[in-house]
A and B are shown apart, each in its own frame.
Chain A
Amino acid sequence: MSQSDPPPHSFPKWVDDLRPLAAALLLGAPIVLVALVWYGGSPATTDVGYAPVQPVPYSHALHAGELGIDCRYCHTNVETSAHAAVPPTETCMNCHTNIRGASPKLRPVRESYASGMPVPWVRVHDLPDYVYFNHSAHVRRGVGCVECHGRIDKMEVVYQAKELSMGWCLDCHRNPDVHLRPPELATQMDWRPPEGRNKTDVGREVRKRLGLSPSEDCSTCHR
């Protein structure tokens, strides 16, 4: 075969011009892919903002915000047990036998109260089964509800406000001062440090007073 003849069945000449482009694509693809997975797969993307439709259009904004009912009126066990606990239907009916007793929105609640069958609420804040989170251990140490749940008192429909990922947990366990407050104010959604003091200083005080040293051990949350 002579040198001047192009070999049979070879790529046309213009393909050569595409070679830098192909190289750029090949080199760039992994970066794009990693970035995509990194961002797309992170809890900040997949979980934050998760706001499932609930069987009853219960508004925290109305109850906890406008009416100012304390979190613990319904979530009675939050200071004593692992679970904050969604209240029994009875708790709703304490008020709603008298207030808006005929509202169509409350039908599932009335039905549940009559039949004894539960209202099937959809879980919003759902940790993996191998994670053992304890509400009492946090609320009693001055971690406000708002730190993990966001401004529930402003949510018409509850959504997941924070990542609830392990890295996010550890951020606070490693640097707790900025997230602590006097434990008795844990449920106050709009709490601010007193005039002239910043959150970190108040938090540091609480940590020292209660002798807190948040653990980074695996066994703290995994059993």
Chain B
Amino acid sequence: MSPVMWRSLEDLADDPRLVETVSREFPLYADEMLAPSRRDFLRLMGASVALAGMTACRRWPTEHIVPFAHMPEGYVPGSALQFASSFDVSGAGRGVLVTSFDGRPVKIEGNPLHPASLGATDPTTQAAVLELYDPDRSVGLLERGASAEGASRRWSEFAKAMEPVLAAHRASGGTGLRVLAEPSSSPTQVALRARFAAAFPKASWVEWDPLTRDAEREGLRLAFSRPVRRHLDLGRADVVASFDCDLLFDDPQSIAHARAWAQSRRGAGGTMIRLWSVETTLSLTGGAADHRIAVKSGLVPVALGRLAERLKRAGVPLPSEVDRFGSHAFDDPRLDRMAADLLAARGRAVVAVGPAHPAAAHALAAAINAGLSSGAVRYTDVPDPDRPPHAKAVLTLAHEIEDGAVETLVLLGGNPAYDAPRELDLETKLKRVRRTIRLGLYDDETSLSCTWHLPRAHALEAWGDTRAWDGTVGIAQPLIEPLYDGKSAIELIAFLIEGRFVHGYDLVAATHGESGWRRAVHDGVVEGSGLPGVVPALDPGWPASLGALADLRTDGHELTFIRSASLLDGRFANLGWLVELPDPVTKLTWDNALLVSPEDAKALKIEANGTVVRVVANGKELSIPAYVLPGQAAGAFTASLGWGRTRAGRVGTGVGTDAYALRFAGTPWRVEAKIAITSDHVRLATTQDHQLVDALGKREARIRGEELVRTGTLSTFRHDPAFAKEMVHVPEPAPLWDPPVPYDGHKWGMAIDLTACTGCHVCTIACQAENNIPVVGKDEVLRGREMHWIRVDRYFDGTPEEPSLAFQPMACHHCENAPCEPVCPVAATVHDHEGLNVMVYNRCIGTRYCANNCPYKVRRFNYFNNHKHRTAIEAMVFNPEVTVRARGVMEKCTYCVQRISVAKIAAKNAARAIADGEIVPACAQACPTQAIVFGDLNDSGSRVRALHDDARAYGVLEEINTRPRTRYLARLKNPAGGGSQA
């Protein structure tokens, strides 16, 4: 059976509301000026003409040129420089290269030398520059007494106020002194912590991470009776079984995983990795899986046990305790095949369990991997073996506050008042501590409850260091002086120890020493600093923990929590790029929602997305709009954390619903809940059904779904490599008049491999950062006016109950016969001699005919002057190589023409040819799987030429003779047993 592609449940059901919406190219409000009277019309015209005339009366504003007084050596004004740095996210380092113009960081790329980056990034990393220039960042120190506003203070005043406090703590050995920190991998911070412990032996240091991966850590400690860290090398795997583990997206090593996965998937000649996924909510890993089993979160460990029981029967050495799973009520026949598949790939098979499942499940997975003698798993020591689990640590702290044992509490980053277990009510508890000192980027929920708020230096403003998941040390160097006099966490810790401020550079340099320092700063990584591998032996006592796992039951409705794909734990809530970035799976912007399975939606009578439901869990209540998601396990309801912030800033405050409200320490990921429908309704801004053209187009899209995202199995492909090409007959029409342009110089083109695309959406946001694309807001998104130049179309493939996901990044195709061009009355969109479909902003008069005539629907119109009200600081984020568009102008993907120009001029100045791979558009550069390739089609040795000639290559809508320059490579799946899907 050939797959049927559909975009959403509304699409599948032909919802009349959707038909009405899509029947208008520019939905809503586009025709509000329909009937002005003749007099109004003349009045408006007269005013416009008069105003237009006045603009010609003066030269444009005077501009100043302000050269350095003393110019740094080697500095070239107006040219981009790249510096290596690294960011720490939830205690794992990511290497980056930061592009800086005239001392102004404007773009983040991955650092190819860094093992967790490999030259690519994830979506949140791209937004770091927006965070740096966020006008809502805290601008100075605040001392909060009785009033919530607080009094503005200087660092010197803070130091003076702390002098007696620190002296007293030093005298008492740190009694009553506590530090609550967000996780950090910084070796400098580790060194400072040791000094802190020596200076204040009775003080304690607590770490809290709402998205903690402690279950895995505890599980491995259980299995091996020592703390170790698990590392996966998907390059050494043929079969991967993921149990609710989002390897390809939500993992400290997600980029390395995705790279290795894609490498294996696209090498269609050899063995292709097969991915099994058992999960509750459709994730990117589940969407990419060849087989997916949807089960409630409480049953995921049971499914793992059921698998273990089967493997044991087949002779895999596993303890007899796994037999207890045999009597569990849950089973799924597809696990037979999974077991057979894993067994067949012994040595190259691996099982992974996600962070939301109990420690025992992780121990079991470790035992299975050992039993399968998996070569894709290795272990290392952990850098912080003595750290207590996050949940336990924060509970202890809360009790100490209750007992009045805490006199001074220092909070380093994080946002515990918002994201700590809600029953602890840290927000109120913080107010009971005599002295609370908060170092934070924003004056947020936590700072409001603290006596001191100190501005934190952004990662791009301060010296630092990080350790990647594999242990590789990265150096973080500042790209700009702190904009608001902020200090970094290590600087504050050093102050607590020494009573004076030490510059971050001295602290970091002291950790790493002289030798190799300059090299490490230049490269961004310290060579050979990865954690050494260990070969731990299974502890004979571990199977005792399986009893509780085998007794897991889940009867009623369960509520599960997941991280927000874009806001992480909520820290990025004020970054418009991320808030407006569609969720990869639901395509929701500006909101989170309770994800409901189609079966439950029917049972609860949820008729439309956005119906508000009331969720009761842990004795608390939450109203949240529902979103029906195909592939959601029946009986399971999922809410993403990180939304509904109350003090995020002008973008993020009050956006979405705060799911932390129902999250308690004992049930961090899953809780029994009661769900009831209410009569309220919220409009959810999902972009999935945008750009559907009209009812006719929508019908066509349904018919053509499988022609747009051509999908086949590995066996189809082996049988007929050109199956994708043959799906549609492409006539070769004779040209009617002009001979086609020869394009004998460069001939730019792009290839996108749908087999490699995981749908992470980093291309969308990398493009936004590179090309000065505005954020438009929820109202505008609801009208279909989002501005993203490259969107990622999501299709479901299969039935609503058992879908897989197909993604198709869609940007301007630079058609050689571009339908947009002949309809432009002012020739504002024309071709250049290298085949770029050029958009000339200064000619555009905004008729929007081009967007109307574009079959791919990739043109975006500026309905407003989106960049008008920018403060000087906000405007610093703009890429100076790209025009900032004003109102009334059409825009679209340019293939990053600015990067092409820079490379062309540089090559010509050096009298050499442009090398293949020298020009990389922003989307391709950020892509973890290198699914996007750009280059010169006239260069017979170029990668893009080879991909265009690949058997899997096809053009979307090629049959209408647009001659697109972007071609896709068909999506291949690799189900067990060849083609017939179970």
B884 within 8 A of A: yes
The contact string, 1 if C-beta is below 8 Å from chain B, for chain A 123-146, is 100101110101011001000000
In contact, A223 and B882 (Cβ under 8 angstroms): yes
Contacts of A218 in B (CB 8 A): 830, 832, 838, 840
The contact string, 1 if C-beta is below 8 Å from chain A, for chain B 884-909, is 10000000001001101100010011
Task: Mark out the residues of chain A between 125 and 176 whose CB falls within 8 Å of any chain B CB in the assembled complex.
Answer: 126, 128-130, 132, 134, 136-137, 140
Task: Mark out the residues of chain A between 82 and 137 whose CB falls within 8 Å of any chain B CB in the assembled complex.
Answer: 82-83, 85-90, 112-113, 115-123, 126, 128-130, 132, 134, 136-137
Contacts of A86 in B (CB 8 A): 65, 67
In contact, A82 and B78 (Cβ under 8 angstroms): yes
Q: How far is the CB of A122 from chain B (nearest CB, A)?
A: 6
Please give the residue numbers on chain B whose beta carbons come within 8 Å of chain A beta carbons, in ascending order.
56, 59-60, 62-71, 76-79, 830, 832-834, 836, 838, 840-842, 881-884, 894, 897-898, 900-901, 905, 908-909
In contact, A136 and B905 (Cβ under 8 angstroms): yes
Given A83-B77, A130-B883, A132-B881, residue A52 in contact with residue B62 (CB < 8 A):
yes
Given A90-B70, A137-B905, residue A80 in contact with residue B883 (CB < 8 A):
no
Q: How far is the CB of B258 from chain A (nearest CB, A)?
A: 31
> What would be 17 A-B contacts, judged by CB atoms less than 8 Å apart?
A81-B76, A81-B77, A82-B79, A89-B69, A90-B69, A90-B71, A113-B69, A116-B69, A116-B70, A121-B65, A123-B63, A123-B64, A126-B63, A136-B905, A222-B883, A223-B882, A223-B883
A217 within 8 A of B: yes
Cα separation A129 to B678 with both chains bound (whole Å) = 53
Interface SS majority for chain B: loop
**Which chain A residue has the least Cβ–Cβ distance from B884?**
A129
Contacts of B69 in A (CB 8 A): 88-90, 112-113, 115-119
A4 within 8 A of B: no
Q: How far is the CB of A209 from chain B (nearest CB, A)?
A: 12
User: Which of B842, B882, B900 has the most A CB atoms < 10 Å from its CB?
Assistant: B842
Contacts of A219 in B (CB 8 A): 832, 834, 836, 838, 894, 897, 900-901
In the complex, how many residues of chain A place their beta carbon closer than 8 angstroms to a beta carbon of chain B?
45
Contacts of A57 in B (CB 8 A): none
Contacts of A79 in B (CB 8 A): 909
Given A218-B830, A223-B897, residue A50 in contact with residue B65 (CB < 8 A):
no
Cα separation A88 to B832 with both chains bound (whole Å) = 38
Cα separation A120 to B62 with both chains bound (whole Å) = 11
Q: How far is the CB of A18 from chain B (nearest CB, A)?
A: 28
**Which chain A residue has the least Cβ–Cβ distance from B894?**
A223
A77 within 8 A of B: yes
Cα separation A80 to B905 with both chains bound (whole Å) = 10
In contact, B832 and A217 (Cβ under 8 angstroms): yes
In contact, A223 and B909 (Cβ under 8 angstroms): no
A46 within 8 A of B: yes
In contact, A87 and B901 (Cβ under 8 angstroms): no
Contacts of B62 in A (CB 8 A): 52, 122-123
User: Which of B63, B67, B884 has the most A CB atoms < 10 Å from its CB?
Assistant: B67
Cα separation A79 to B910 with both chains bound (whole Å) = 11
A215 within 8 A of B: yes
Contacts of B882 in A (CB 8 A): 223
Contacts of A123 in B (CB 8 A): 62-65
User: Which of A46, A80, A116, A132 has the most B CB atoms < 10 Å from its CB?
Assistant: A132
In contact, B897 and A85 (Cβ under 8 angstroms): no
In contact, A222 and B909 (Cβ under 8 angstroms): no
**Which chain B residue has the least Cβ–Cβ distance from A84?**
B77
**Which chain B residue has the least Cβ–Cβ distance from A221?**
B901
In contact, B838 and A122 (Cβ under 8 angstroms): no
In contact, B67 and A118 (Cβ under 8 angstroms): yes
**Which chain B residue has the least Cβ–Cβ distance from A118?**
B66
In contact, B898 and A223 (Cβ under 8 angstroms): yes
In contact, B66 and A121 (Cβ under 8 angstroms): yes
In contact, A121 and B841 (Cβ under 8 angstroms): no
In contact, B909 and A137 (Cβ under 8 angstroms): yes
Q: A50-B59, A130-B842 are in contact. List 8 more A-B contacts (CB 8 A).
A: A117-B69, A118-B66, A128-B842, A137-B909, A219-B836, A219-B901, A223-B881, A223-B882
Contacts of A193 in B (CB 8 A): none
Given A123-B62, A136-B909, A215-B833, residue A88 in contact with residue B881 (CB < 8 A):
no
A47 within 8 A of B: yes
A41 within 8 A of B: yes
Task: From the candidates B68, B830, B833, name the one contacting A88 in the complex (CB within 8 A).
Answer: B68
In contact, A222 and B838 (Cβ under 8 angstroms): yes
Cα separation A11 to B884 with both chains bound (whole Å) = 58
Contacts of B881 in A (CB 8 A): 132, 223
Contacts of B883 in A (CB 8 A): 129-130, 222-223
Q: How far is the CB of B369 from chain A (nearest CB, A)?
A: 51
**Which chain A residue has the least Cβ–Cβ distance from B827?**
A218
Cα separation A50 to B884 with both chains bound (whole Å) = 26
Contacts of B70 in A (CB 8 A): 88-90, 113, 116
**Which chain B residue has the least Cβ–Cβ distance from A50?**
B59
Contacts of A121 in B (CB 8 A): 64-67
In contact, B833 and A137 (Cβ under 8 angstroms): no
**Which chain B residue has the least Cβ–Cβ distance from A217?**
B832
In contact, B909 and A89 (Cβ under 8 angstroms): no
Cα separation A122 to B905 with both chains bound (whole Å) = 28
In contact, A85 and B63 (Cβ under 8 angstroms): no
**Which chain A residue has the least Cβ–Cβ distance from B59?**
A46
In contact, B898 and A122 (Cβ under 8 angstroms): no
Contacts of A222 in B (CB 8 A): 838, 840-842, 883
Contacts of B63 in A (CB 8 A): 122-123, 126
Q: Which 6 A-B pairs have the closest CB atoms?
A: A217-B832, A88-B71, A118-B66, A89-B69, A123-B63, A83-B78
Contacts of B68 in A (CB 8 A): 88-90, 118
Contacts of A122 in B (CB 8 A): 62-65
User: Which of B60, B69, B70 has the most A CB atoms < 10 Å from its CB?
Assistant: B69
**Which chain B residue has the least Cβ–Cβ distance from A82?**
B78
Contacts of A80 in B (CB 8 A): 76, 909
Q: How far is the CB of A41 from chain B (nearest CB, A)?
A: 5
Q: How far is the CB of B262 from chain A (nearest CB, A)?
A: 31
Q: How far is the CB of B612 from chain A (nearest CB, A)?
A: 45
**Which chain A residue has the least Cβ–Cβ distance from B885?**
A130
